[in-house]
């Protein structure tokens, strides 16, 4: 590969782009330690056991966090990283909220249909 020469003015221009005085380049050191703590905590192992019924809920559950996928088996206690357990918890919470919302909307629909006299017999 041929070598190219860089002039002093090119170097100064590059450095001036990298060190824009309007931008604060210093980071708060407590931010770094807080971020490191979150990462460390997410990597701790925790035990989970997913519901297994031998029918509909028998396949392992895929869990993806930051593009990394794991398969969590059902019906036996397993240790997984906390970040995956939290993703499972969030998913379960969303499923519950969706079920409650679906029931509420179905009840509203039934009541509105009855009020309009459109109910089927």
In angstroms, the CA 121 to CA 118 distance is 9
In this predicted model, what pLDDT tens digit does every residue of 15-59 receive, in sequence order?
434 444 455 556 666 778 888 988 899 999 999 999 999 999 999
Query: Quick one: average pLDDT of 70-92?
Result: 96
Closest CA to 51 of 87, 85, 77, 75: 75
Q: Which residue has the tokens 């002039």?
A: 7
Residues 6+ apart with CB under 8 A from 65: 83, 84, 87
- Please tell me whether the overall predicted TM-score, pTM, comes out greater than 0.75 for this model: no
In angstroms, the CA 24 to CA 38 distance is 24
């Amino acid at each position: 590969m041929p070598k190219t020469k860089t002039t002093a003015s090119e170097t100064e221009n590059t450095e001036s782009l990298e060190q824009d005085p309007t931008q604060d380049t210093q980071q708060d050191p407590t931010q770094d330690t807080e971020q490191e703590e979150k990462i460390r905590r997410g990597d701790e192992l925790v035990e989970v056991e997913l519901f297994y019924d031998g029918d509909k809920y028998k396949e392992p559950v895929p869990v993806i966090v930051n593009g990394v996928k794991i398969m969590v088996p059902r019906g036996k206690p397993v240790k997984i990283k906390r970040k995956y357990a939290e993703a499972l918890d969030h998913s379960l919470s969303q499923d519950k909220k969706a079920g409650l919302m679906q029931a509420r909307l179905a009840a509203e629909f039934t009541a509105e249909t009855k009020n309009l006299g459109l109910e089927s017999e």
